[in-house]
Amino acid sequence: MAELISTSGLTKSYGDKLAVDAVDLSVHEGSVYGFLGPNGSGKTTTIRMLLGLIFPSAGAIEVLGHSVPKETTRVLVDVGAVVEGPGLYPTLSARRYLQRMSRYGRGERRRAIASIAPGERPALAPDIDAALEMVGLAKVGNRRVKAYSLGMKQRLSLANALLYPRRLLILDEPTNGMDPQGIVEMRELILRLAAQGTTVFVSSHILSEIEQLCTHVGVIQHGRLLFQGEIGELRGQLPARLAVGTSDQVAARELLRSRFGLQPRTDESGLLVMDRGGVAIDEIAAALVGAGIGLYRLAEDRSTLEEAFVALTGEASDVS
């Protein structure tokens, strides 16, 4: 798979302060890449450098095979972006806003299309109706933006990123300010786009919001990239934990200790919690039931990704 975003030694300093410190990003085609980090960790600065809005102090950036910031405008023809909240004209309607944005980008898009073989050229004109439909604003598209809620504004910003079929979407905190329902819809939309083959680079400071979306994760803190890889790999860094609830916790603990050599301990809710190591769950279940102990709960810990995050960064993901 082609590398759509690749940075090497990407650094941005303001005076003596390093906002981004030698970051090597690698985002492959077809992936949904979650870019995680607390607020102020350098996420937004990195994303702005990818989009040519901020000039790096050192390092190199390639997006879609083009160098940034040198070929920024060419790159952005194929990139849809939502950057840190919406930037809208309060007095314009959503439809009029999308029209304005597409007219601004028209010249650059025409030039980019001209370099593509005539049979394979994408449409020059944007599909404003489809973009509004996709984000669920079709019915209010003629209303002035100043009457919109923050969630609606965020959706309109996303519609702007979806004016044309894109190879890459770069979304910086797209769920900011959205209600739970909106967050669910946004997630579904991103999954739908990913299924259609769009590569998505999405940042968030709330792990749980994008946990179910991502195939890949990058974790950044204090400007440093702490982890980058498949999401399972991040989970795999932590021992697999098992919680067991039985009718006789004392007997169960003794059995697990003697039969499998596990070290269960009792947590605050009375469950037996242990690192099951290489022992299969069905084996454990069969042994307990076989010994006549009533098994009413057997679960792998669901919060492992969050714990992995905490283990990496030393703080919870949702601190803002």
Which of 101, 131, 186, 288 touches other proteins by CB under 8 A? Answer: 101
Q: Is 165 in the site for other proteins (CB under 8 A)?
A: no
Residue 144: DSSP 8-state: B
Q: Is 263 in the site for other proteins (CB under 8 A)?
A: no
Residue 238: DSSP 8-state: S
Which of 157, 176, 204, 221 touches other proteins by CB under 8 A? Answer: 157
Adjacent-strand bridge partners of 216: 33, 230
Query: Which one, 53 or 293, has the nearer CB to other proteins?
Result: 53
Q: Is 294 in the site for other proteins (CB under 8 A)?
A: no
How would you label 213-249 residue by residue, b for 16+ Cβ within 10 Å and e otherwise?
bbebbbbbbebebebbeebeebeeebebbbbbbbeeb
Which range in 96-104, 187-195, 198-206, 263-271 contacts other proteins by CB under 8 A? 96-104
Q: How far is the CB of 11 from other proteins (least distance, A)?
A: 14
Alpha-carbon gap, residue 107 to 243, rounded angstroms: 60
Which of 65, 67, 104, 254 touches other proteins by CB under 8 A? Answer: 104
> Which residue has tokens 């039969």?
259
Q: Is 155 in the site for other proteins (CB under 8 A)?
A: no
Check if the beta carbon of residue 220 is closer than 8 Å to that of residue 226.
yes
Q: Report how far apart, in Å, the C-alpha atoms of 225 and of each of 19, 63, 186, 202 are.
A: 12, 18, 26, 15
Q: Is 202 in the site for other proteins (CB under 8 A)?
A: no
Which of 39, 65, 67, 90 touches other proteins by CB under 8 A? Answer: 90
Q: How far is the CB of 92 from other proteins (least distance, A)?
A: 8
Q: Is 229 in the site for other proteins (CB under 8 A)?
A: no
Interaction mask 111-150, other proteins, x per CB under 8 A? ----------------------------------------
Residue 267: DSSP 8-state: -
Please state the φ and ψ torsions of residue 67, each to the nearest 5 degrees. -80, 135
Q: For other proteins, how many residues bind (rule: CB under 8 A)?
A: 34
Which of 9, 65, 107, 294 touches other proteins by CB under 8 A? Answer: 107
Query: Which one, 92 or 310, has the nearer CB to other proteins?
Result: 92
Q: Is 81 in the site for other proteins (CB under 8 A)?
A: yes
Amino acid (one-letter) located at 246:
T
Alpha-carbon gap, residue 228 to 89, rounded angstroms: 37
Alpha-carbon gap, residue 304 to 208, rounded angstroms: 11
Through-space distance between the first and last CA atoms of the chain, rounded to whole angstroms: 35
Q: Rule CB under 8 A: which of 40-69 touch other proteins?
A: 48, 51-55
Query: Which one, 52 or 245, has the nearer CB to other proteins?
Result: 52
Q: Is 177 in the site for other proteins (CB under 8 A)?
A: no
Q: How far is the CB of 44 from other proteins (least distance, A)?
A: 9
Q: How far is the CB of 154 from other proteins (least distance, A)?
A: 12
Check if the beta carbon of residue 42 is closer than 8 Å to that of residue 19.
yes
Alpha-carbon gap, residue 213 to 173, rounded angstroms: 14
Q: Report how far apart, in Å, the C-alpha atoms of 57 and of each of 89, 149, 220 are.
A: 32, 37, 18
Which residues are near other proteins by CB under 8 A? 48, 51-55, 72-73, 75-77, 79, 81, 83-91, 99-108, 157, 160
